[in-house]
Amino acid sequence: MSGARAARVLAQAKVNLFLRVLAREDSGYHQIETLFCRLELADVVTVRVGGSARTLSCDGPAMPPGGLGPSERNLAHRAAAAYAAVAGWPDGFEIAVEKHIPVGGGLGGGSADAGAVLRALNALAPRPQPHARLLEIAVELGADVPFLTSESPLALAWGRGERMLALPPLPARDVLLHCFPFGVNTADAYRWLDESRAGRAYAPTPALLGADSLSSWDAVSRLARNDFETAVGLRHLEIAEALVELDSMKESVGATPHAGAPPLLLARMSGSGSTVFLVYDAGVTTIEDWDVPGVRLVRTRTASRVEEVEMIE
């Protein structure tokens, strides 16, 4: 039984190393197949329990000028309320989020905060919920939340994100995030994708993936794709142009003739956008000098582990 009253969690961002969107169901939802990979970039989430009030505060360098909207609609607050409804505890909570993950860019910042809250509350709870029950709460909050509630740095997910296969982490690699000053609404991205497929005899089916196809960066790079990229890129040309530029850079570095040249591994858009990311080996000096006017570049690394919940006073 936990006697602690507060916990802190690093809520790590994610990228989708590949993302396939399957056919739209009659319910309006789409099944997906994706390879989630956590990053070292993280929000700092602190959860304190006690009293009867339920509050959320957010600050930090990645906070948008207009804020994040009403607290009750924030995923972190909703996660705490959902946990309380299931567990019958706590009556009150105080959540503080220090934002470092760019908002609305497909990096799962809100979902990571929600997953961090669920993990923190479960660590603090007098009667913790089984992990499977925690994931059931998570899936009701969004497709990214189950992975970002799990303790896996890398996982293959399908369905609506609730079905996952944890995988050994790939060797840590540097990541450059190309963060635009706008986000892409996920519902819009799905609608644009459906419109692009309308009138075509297109019935995407699940892929058959062997274990060796996800065991190395070289193997994963051959699978890398994101079904949203074309439809979203038609509405946001900056995204399409960035992908072309990064792919061109990837090819030029990959063609470096001298032995031992570090490769650029893959360049993709994460989730439904807008962030475009590049995974590369340390030593690619051209990346360190790269700059794009009007775009925030964030350098981080893929994560080899999920940070543990820290009990605090």
Let me know if 14 is a catalytic residue.
yes
- Paired residues of 78 in beta bridges: none
Torsion of CA 139, 169, 30, 79, to 10 degrees: 20
Cα 267 to chain center, whole Å?
Answer: 16
Distance between CA atoms of residues 186 and 192, nearest Å: 10
For 217, the token pair is 């960066």
**Residue pair 43/113 in contact by the 8 Å Cβ criterion:** yes
Candidates 43, 113, 144, 174; catalytic one: 144
**Residue pair 194/230 in contact by the 8 Å Cβ criterion:** no
Candidates 14, 43, 99, 250; catalytic one: 14
**Residue type for 212, please?**
D
For 242, the token pair is 């960035």
Cα 229 to chain center, whole Å?
Answer: 16
238: left (phi over 0), alpha (psi -120 to 50) or beta: alpha
Cα of first residue to Cα of last residue in the chain, in angstroms, is: 16
Classify residue 160 as exposed, middle or buried by CB count within 10 Å of its CB (0-12, 13-18, 19+).
middle
Let me know if 188 is a catalytic residue.
no
The residues assigned a catalytic role are 14, 144
